[in-house]
Structure 1
Amino acid sequence: MPLPPKLVILDRDGVINQDSDAYIKSLEEWIAYPQAIEAIAYLTQHGWTVAIATNQSGIARGYFDTATLDAMHEELRHQVSRAGGEIAHIAYCPHGPDDRCDCRKPLPGLLQQVHQALGLSTLEGSWMVGDSLRDLQAGQAAGCHAALVRTGKGVRTEQKGQGLENVRIFDDLASFSRWLIPDDA
């Protein structure tokens, strides 16, 4: 039986960068949490593959276009690279909630895209880290362990308390990464 992949899949808004109920619509509005950039670097420096699975319905809603999203992701990759890390793949859903796609979380389609893009035999044993219940549900549907961070919408998600069975909860991505890979590892 093959070993599970050393893969961490991250939601973007609220986990890696500040979130907004009005959507992150421009490169200027995309503001990374410095600790999250360092955490991604820490994970990759310790042999973990990091990918992103993010709903971006602002595209379907006409708030921004794919060129703007690409610019945000290029800046994310640049910041992570400068910190000594790497993002292996970014999967995003450009659809709105009523588009009936198979990629919008809580469905596992984005995670399956990551699985295929990285050529993995399974996602079982991987981690899905998010700040909302739909992130955790997508991860669990794909066979991943689930971790909730309290950044972004995480505190609200935790306070609702629904669907958090078998979910580990952390203050932020940095505390998750230090738990996953202790300093003495």
Structure 2
Amino acid sequence: MIVWIDPIRIRLRKKTIFLDRDGVINEDREYYVKRPDEFVLYPEAATALRLFLQLGFQLIIISNQSGLGRGIISWDNFQKIHNIMIKRLSFYGCPPAAVFYCPHRPEDNCFCRKPRPGMLVEAISNFDIPSLECFFIGDRKTDMEAATQAGCRGIRIVRKGRRTPKNRFEVQNLLEAVSLITKFRLQGD
């Protein structure tokens, strides 16, 4: 597991929005985001992330990056992509407090690779985050499985064209996730 922490932004016992990276914050690619020029933020991402911060959440990114373990993404490009993400999110006023990456392939059977909850458990444990006040926003079934195992509420992004959201925990983008979480908080769910 690779962990990046911003010591200025990370807060103990703080309600948290955990986010998958590819397909949630930035456009996913069929064969991985391999180079810095392939990292493209979704248009609504920065606005939604700023709204989460205004609601009092801290942001922590939790991302499988098996392209590293497969040798498809070089470590140099991976670091450049990470730096670009941090710079862009900081420029838009929504930097993450921490980022957790799993570089393992599925067949490595590690505890940190989603659908296993290792990265979430590590963050919750290390920063004493109350899991009942956390949400994990992802775009895959494996994200939702990891959220459930870690005791977080999962919200799945189903982008237009892939299929229609089927239940109240599925939305089409991060702005809809902000609305859903605001609704949960108002209703005391």
> So what's the TM-score if we normalise by structure 1?
0.83
Contact 1:44/1:86 (CA < 8 Å) preserved in 2?
no
Contact 1:103/1:110 (CA < 8 Å) preserved in 2?
yes
1:180 equivalent in alignment to 2:189: no
Count of equivalent residues: 172
Alpha-carbon distance in structure 1 between the residues aligned to 2:54 and 2:172:
21
SS at match of 1:147: strand
178 and 79 in structure 1: CA distance in 2 versus 1, 3 angstrom threshold: farther
Shift of 1:74: 1.7
SS at match of 1:21: coil
Shift of 1:5: 4.2
1:139 aligns with 147
* Cα shift readout 1:124-181 (whole Å, capped 9, x = no counterpart): 33101111000000001000001011139x935x68x7xx7xx611110111113323
1:111 aligns with 120
Contact 1:125/1:144 (CA < 8 Å) preserved in 2?
yes
Alpha-carbon distance in structure 2 between the residues aligned to 1:103 and 1:112:
9
The correspondence for 1:52, drawn from 32, 50, 61, is 61
- Name structure 2 gaps, 5 residues minimum: 1-12
Percentage of matched positions with identical amino acids: 31
Alpha-carbon distance in structure 2 between the residues aligned to 1:66 and 1:127:
29
SS at match of 2:67: coil
Shift of 1:121: 4.5
The correspondence for 1:36, drawn from 30, 45, 54, is 45
148 and 48 in structure 1: CA distance in 2 versus 1, 3 angstrom threshold: same
Alpha-carbon distance in structure 1 between the residues aligned to 2:122 and 2:107:
21
SS at match of 1:77: helix
Contact 2:111/2:118 (CA < 8 Å) preserved in 1?
yes
> So what's the TM-score if we normalise by structure 2?
0.82
Alpha-carbon distance in structure 1 between the residues aligned to 2:136 and 2:55:
18
1:90 aligns with 99
Alpha-carbon distance in structure 2 between the residues aligned to 1:168 and 1:121:
22
2:73 aligns with 64
Alpha-carbon distance in structure 2 between the residues aligned to 1:58 and 1:142:
24
Contact 2:123/2:129 (CA < 8 Å) preserved in 1?
no
Contact 2:64/2:114 (CA < 8 Å) preserved in 1?
yes
* Cα shift readout 1:85-137 (whole Å, capped 9, x = no counterpart): 220110010000111211100000011222244x1253233101111000000
Q: Which amino acid aligns with 2:53?
A: T
Q: Deviation above 3 Å: which 4+ runs of structure 1?
A: none
SS at match of 1:58: helix
1:26 aligns with 35
SS at match of 1:129: strand
Contact 1:56/1:93 (CA < 8 Å) preserved in 2?
yes
Higher helix share: 2
